[in-house]
Structure 1
Amino acid sequence: MKILLTGANGYVGRRLLPELLSKNHEIICCVRDKNRLGLDKTTLDSITIWEVDFLEEVSLENTPKDIDVAYYLIHSMSSSTQVFDTMESKAAENFNHYMNHIGVKQVVYLSGIVNNNTLSKHLQSRKNVEDILYQGNYNVTVLRAGIIVGSGSSSFEIIRDLCEKLPVMITPKWVLTKTQPIAIRDVIQYLMGVLLKEECYNDSFDIGGPNVLTYKQMMQLYAKTRGFKNWIYTVPVMTPKLSSYWLYFVTSTSYKLAMNLVDSMKMEVVCKDN
């Protein structure tokens, strides 16, 4: 199978690539700068690289041909706190132009869980991208996930850093928000499992682990698993901006990403049975 992998430099893309190669698929990795791909020589020799910036004007020169499936793993949350949603919409629109020219059969998009009536800017942007992708001349499969648990996942790294660095925490009230985390290995299994499955065409599916937890419970479970105790006290006065500074100074996340994540952490992210 010939597969186009966008977001090949991202967390999920890096975990998905070796699994796809292990199944002997032919992989074309989309990157803005091939010098930043950071793969070992054996992997580089096994893939084709297509340098393309989906935020730039569409150029149909040197586009790959005969693609069976394209993974859409592009997001811009780390780039801006103000216009990342506009950037994500533009990237999806340009992606459609390329895919309509290439003639891809299926696009698989890893989105966010969007079951609330009111969505954060981040989740609304993910939903807007879904709507744009559905306008393409191909079959769409949308997998909607909440927090992805695994080393390298932004949300999980925040939880880990907080627990490791702060045995006693004064936390904002959003730590009582419910979420349904999923392990990265399960996300990869879903991403692989929907390949050219006609029963998954033009539909969306919430994917999550078996447990619905608050962020506070997640931190307590992390500490228990690591073998130490933590004490967490919630206060109602910590504003989103103050929360963002708190995450920025205590964890390894960037301020822009912290702002966007805090905005979403106020929203309940729980799967529906779909």
Structure 2
Amino acid sequence: MRYLVTGATGYIGGRLAPRLLGRGPEPDLVPDPDGGPVEVRCLVRNPDKLRDVPWAADAEIVQGDLLDPDSVRAACADVDVVYFLVHSLSEAGFAATDRRAALIMAEAAREAGVKRIIYLGGLHPDDDPADLSAHLASRAEVGETLLRSGVPTAVLQAAVILGSGSASFEMLRHLTERLPVMVTPRWVHNKIQPIAVRDVLRYLIRAAELPPEVNRTFDIGGPEVLTYLEMMQRYAAVAGLKRRRVLPVPVLSPSLSAHWINVVTPVPGSIATPLIESLVHEVVCTEDDIKTYVPDPPGGLIGYDHAVELALARVTEGAVETRWSGADVEDVPSDPLPSDPEWAGGSVYLDEREQACTAPPEDLWVVVKGIGGEHGWYSFPLAWSVRGWMDRLVGGVGLSRGRRDPDDLHTGDALDWWRVERIDEPTAADGETGLLRLRAEMKVPGRAWLEMGVRPEGTGSLYHQRAVFIPHGLPGYLYWWAVAPFHGIVFGGMVRNITRTAEREAGTAPSSGKTGRQAARDAA
């Protein structure tokens, strides 16, 4: 079975491609009626966007443009199923662009003898197309164009897709997290039938098994119908936020709403505007014929609350490293992927610094591993003390716990107001690379980590430091921006003084007559 995935650098395509390759949690889900190998070809304009994606080495990545008939014809050659998963939402004149791309694909697929086209469109009411928003009207037009291609086509129509990276979900996430009090227009009371991204992917994969005579649209949605307001309130409940207060306004146009969302959220206005304009429609499934061909999984479709939990799971479970290090999260479609836009995945604030050090890695690691307690934090001691006192005043642990051992650390150890979440001792096998990750246990409106890494570089080493903060509600955002001006002093001082201490103790820097730790504390 040969698949062509267009839009592999996008939200859905980037999650579908690895599953077609059997890289997902349900490898048996991929249809292979001929019993032969599964091959996946991805047509992309910029292959560099897939450079760091773990599954790309298993796929055939071809460069081309959906507006170029020659490259589309070449991509469709010897293909059984085409997934058309593109939408030029952020571009001016997106309707004309998508119309032309659909016409080119329809002709190329027909000429190549493609057995099926599968398109993910937008759920919309059965109104006159002239009454639909530009976004939904364009989605409907593309679907009709592909249905008339002469190639059996399945158009799956979905409303809000729930998962980190989905533009609609990110807009909902940021509005709810950042606005404890909201002025809302009338459209927040319109009904929506959202669907979890896992269920969308399941429908897309199984649609390749549809009988050849099936050429039609299918409505797909989750098990619940909610208003946008209910979706925000239930998101807040799942995320552990206080119930949002809503001030209804009788007149607030979609364009004004989009401008406000562009200010409050990181979702670009070019994307937010057409999405908001589409929310004036109620988008609820009018049929569930897809279940005739694709029955629900044994546990049923994923409900709204659980879908939100899945989108937040990496933070909730404490496995935040897979969120902000670009690790392989292909088995969890609700998570962000490296190919997702920068505004996907919720707010994660970073302070990242590194410094070359003339000391060998093993000597730098000794300093890193000995941080905290009586050795201190190598920068601005007064600031650390004041923050510790403030934490104690509000019931936190402050700096009173110190450390169990002045020189040794283990996973789970308390370290002042931190907890050792991960410690990788450097070994000769990994080239003397070490990693220490601390999770904050101070009172703070969010979750915080401090990571310190050591690796060889030339005759010395490289020290890498990263502070990570995931805000919780509006207080979390305010907290980060309140302390951000001090990061240069605190975190910058740590980098300089940790490396200087290692150099002095290793004898690779001029001696001041003091020990490395004494000199670093004096410098701080």
Question: What TM bracket, shorter-length normalisation?
Answer: over 0.9
Structure 1: gaps of 5 or more residues: none
1:127 alignment partner, SS class: helix
Supply the AA of the counterpart residue of 2:149.
G
Q: Match of 1:188? A: 201
Residue 60 of structure 1 deviates from its aligned partner by 6.6
Q: Could you tell me how far apart the structure 2 residues matched to 1:79 and 1:201 are?
A: 33
Of 40, 45, 56 in structure 1, the residue corresponding to residue 57 of structure 2 is: 45
Supply the AA of the counterpart residue of 2:2.
K
Greater relative CO, 1 or 2 (CA 8 Å, sep 6+): 1
Q: Could you tell me how far apart the structure 2 residues matched to 1:18 and 1:200 are?
A: 28
Q: Where in structure 2 are the equivalents of 1:37-186 lying within 5 Å? A: 37-40=50-53, 42-59=54-71, 62-80=74-92, 83-117=93-127, 118-186=131-199
Query: After superposition, what is the alpha-carbon deviation per residue over 1:195-247, rounded to whole angstroms, capped at 9, x for unaligned?
Result: 13207720211000111111000000000111122112221222222111111
Residue 15 of structure 1 deviates from its aligned partner by 1.1
Going from structure 1 to structure 2, the CA distance change for 1:38 and 1:254 (only over 3 Å counts) comes to farther
CA contact (8 A) 1:4 1:70 kept: yes
Going from structure 1 to structure 2, the CA distance change for 1:190 and 1:137 (only over 3 Å counts) comes to same
Of 223, 226, 233 in structure 2, the residue corresponding to residue 210 of structure 1 is: 223
Query: After superposition, what is the alpha-carbon deviation per residue over 1:27-78, rounded to whole angstroms, capped at 9, x for unaligned?
Result: 00010111122443x5222110121211235457744522110101010111
Q: Could you tell me how far apart the structure 2 residues matched to 1:186 and 1:147 are?
A: 12
1:242 alignment partner, SS class: helix
Q: Match of 1:26? A: 39
Residue 13 of structure 1 deviates from its aligned partner by 0.7
Structure 2: gaps of 5 or more residues: 28-36, 290-524
Question: 1:250 and 2:260 equivalent?
Answer: no
Going from structure 1 to structure 2, the CA distance change for 1:63 and 1:156 (only over 3 Å counts) comes to closer
2:200 alignment partner, SS class: helix
Supply the AA of the counterpart residue of 2:78.
D
TM-score (norm 2): 0.50
Residue 25 of structure 1 deviates from its aligned partner by 2.2
CA contact (8 A) 1:244 1:259 kept: yes
1:190 alignment partner, SS class: helix
Q: Could you tell me how far apart the structure 2 residues matched to 1:59 and 1:45 are?
A: 21
CA contact (8 A) 1:69 1:196 kept: no
1:75 alignment partner, SS class: coil
**Bigger CA radius of gyration:** 2
Going from structure 1 to structure 2, the CA distance change for 1:188 and 1:266 (only over 3 Å counts) comes to same
Going from structure 1 to structure 2, the CA distance change for 1:38 and 1:217 (only over 3 Å counts) comes to farther
Supply the AA of the counterpart residue of 2:65.
D
CA contact (8 A) 1:178 1:215 kept: yes
Going from structure 1 to structure 2, the CA distance change for 1:85 and 1:198 (only over 3 Å counts) comes to same
Supply the AA of the counterpart residue of 2:12.
V
Going from structure 1 to structure 2, the CA distance change for 1:104 and 1:61 (only over 3 Å counts) comes to closer
2:103 alignment partner, SS class: helix
Q: Could you tell me how far apart the structure 2 residues matched to 1:137 and 1:57 are?
A: 17
Q: Could you tell me how far apart the structure 2 residues matched to 1:63 and 1:84 are?
A: 23
Going from structure 1 to structure 2, the CA distance change for 1:239 and 1:64 (only over 3 Å counts) comes to closer
Judge which range, 52-61 or 97-106, deviates more: 52-61
Residue 109 of structure 1 deviates from its aligned partner by 0.6
Q: Could you tell me how far apart the structure 1 residues matched to 2:9 and 2:63 are?
A: 12
Query: After superposition, what is the alpha-carbon deviation per residue over 1:91-142, rounded to whole angstroms, capped at 9, x for unaligned?
Result: 1011123212322100011111122313211111111111111222311011
Q: Could you tell me how far apart the structure 2 residues matched to 1:133 and 1:92 are?
A: 7
Question: 1:4 and 2:4 equivalent?
Answer: yes
Supply the AA of the counterpart residue of 1:233.
L
CA contact (8 A) 2:76 2:114 kept: no
Identity of aligned residues (%): 42
Judge which range, 226-235 or 160-169, deviates more: 226-235
Supply the AA of the counterpart residue of 1:10.
G
Query: After superposition, what is the alpha-carbon deviation per residue over 1:131-190, rounded to whole angstroms, capped at 9, x for unaligned?
Result: 111222311011110000000000010110011111111122211111000000000110
Q: Could you tell me how far apart the structure 1 residues matched to 2:106 and 2:212 are?
A: 22
CA contact (8 A) 2:41 2:62 kept: yes
Supply the AA of the counterpart residue of 1:165.
R
1:114 alignment partner, SS class: coil
TM-score (norm 1): 0.93
Q: Could you tell me how far apart the structure 1 residues matched to 2:162 and 2:273 are?
A: 20
Question: 1:265 and 2:265 equivalent?
Answer: no
Q: Match of 1:16? A: 16
Going from structure 1 to structure 2, the CA distance change for 1:221 and 1:163 (only over 3 Å counts) comes to same
CA contact (8 A) 1:116 1:268 kept: no
Judge which range, 146-155 or 130-139, deviates more: 130-139
